[in-house]
Amino acid sequence: MADVWTLSEYSEHGMKDVSLELLGRGRALADSLGVSLAAVVLGHGIDETALQSLIEHGADVVYVADDPCLADFTCESYAKVLVPLIKEHKPQVMIAAATTTGRTLMPYVAVQVHAGLTADCTELAIEPGTGNLLQTRPAIGGNIMATIKSPDHRPQMATIRPRSTKKPMRDGSRVGTIVHIPPSPSWKNACVEVLGLRSLEGQNASIEEAEIVVSGGKGLKKRDNFTLVEDLAKALGGEVGASRDAVDRGWAAYPHQVGLSGKTISPRLYVAVGISGAIQHLAGIKTAKCIVAINHDEHANILDLADFALVGDLFTILPEIQKRLEARRQA
């Protein structure tokens, strides 16, 4: 019977946390179908300990493609590994994280294997009796949740929002199989040469992976005031986000944009400063564990979603928060 597959992401810093989150989703699906769970890892210099961690977190099989041409992600090279692998083993379900890699690679692969794909899902389940994958995601600006099926084609493919579920517990007693895929000259992308990678200025880590995000909106009134958000994010050890209004005004770069037209995030703490709460923005933060809204308008939409609301002048509130944080550090 066809397996459930997850696409794991590996970097020079090791296996990304989102890969372990996916195993939790995949394990539940595989158990519902009564099949095995496989993880696929592509990259270069992949550590065997990282591969074993995939088994310890739920994988039964790990397929590994390790080659210098896979060191940096390019869609064409990764697809040249993944497409033949799918055609050979014919998994029933394949899921990936809704990261830059997942959102780029999965549609490209889905076209080549003639499969359906649902992007940015928040929930996955197996339909009793049919084995169809029920793929739930926000629709119509986040006003409703739509459940989508792909009954006629396999594999059923979906990308999942990062941090929409917890990592499974590690079980050091689990055993599994690691399958190394022989390298092929066809993997090399003759059309693209990666010259190097550099971090975006002012963004140390992706806001999709951040535990704490502080975002600013048009309530800050001008770019100079956006430093209040940047300072608070630094004080909390978090990353800087922004509403679409703030990005459109040039106060922050697009990679900081939070919402359906930017990044969907699920941090442990989300602080919204001067953000009214457009539907598209709210849809991008719904899975945050704790939302704190700072706004002068007691009727702002974001207050309905917030766990804690500070209603008042943000230019008074933010300096007071900073002062109290500093006092705690010195205590």
pLDDT digits (tens, 9 = 90+) for 199-252: 655 445 578 878 999 999 999 999 999 999 999 999 999 999 999 999 999 999
Cα within 13 Å of Cα(313), Cβ side: 4
End-to-end CA distance of the chain: 61
Pick the CATH number of 4-187 from 3.40.50.880, 3.90.1150.10, 3.40.50.620, 3.90.320.10: 3.40.50.620
> What is the domain partition of the chain in residue ranges?
4-187, 212-330
Structure tokens belonging to residue 43? 């990259």
pLDDT at 106 (0 to 100): 95
Class of the CATH-defined domain 212-330: alpha beta
Written as one string, the DSSP assignment of 8-61 is EEEETTEE-HHHHHHHHHHHHHHHHHT--EEEEEEESS--HHHHHHHHHTT-SE
Domain 4-187 identical in fold to domain 212-330? yes
Query: What is the per-residue pLDDT for 1?
Result: 47
Please write the tens of the pLDDT for every residue from 316-329. Answer: 999 999 999 988 88
The Cα-based distances of 140 to 16, 78, 124, 280, 320 in angstroms read: 31, 32, 19, 9, 38
b/e sequence 133-164, b meaning 16+ C-beta within 10 Å: bbbbbbeeebeeeeebebeeebbbbbbbbbbb
12-20: average pLDDT:
85
Under 8 Å between Cβ of 34 and 3: no
Residue 307 DSSP one-character state = S
Q: How confident is the model at residue 279 (pLDDT cuts 50, 70, 90)?
A: confident
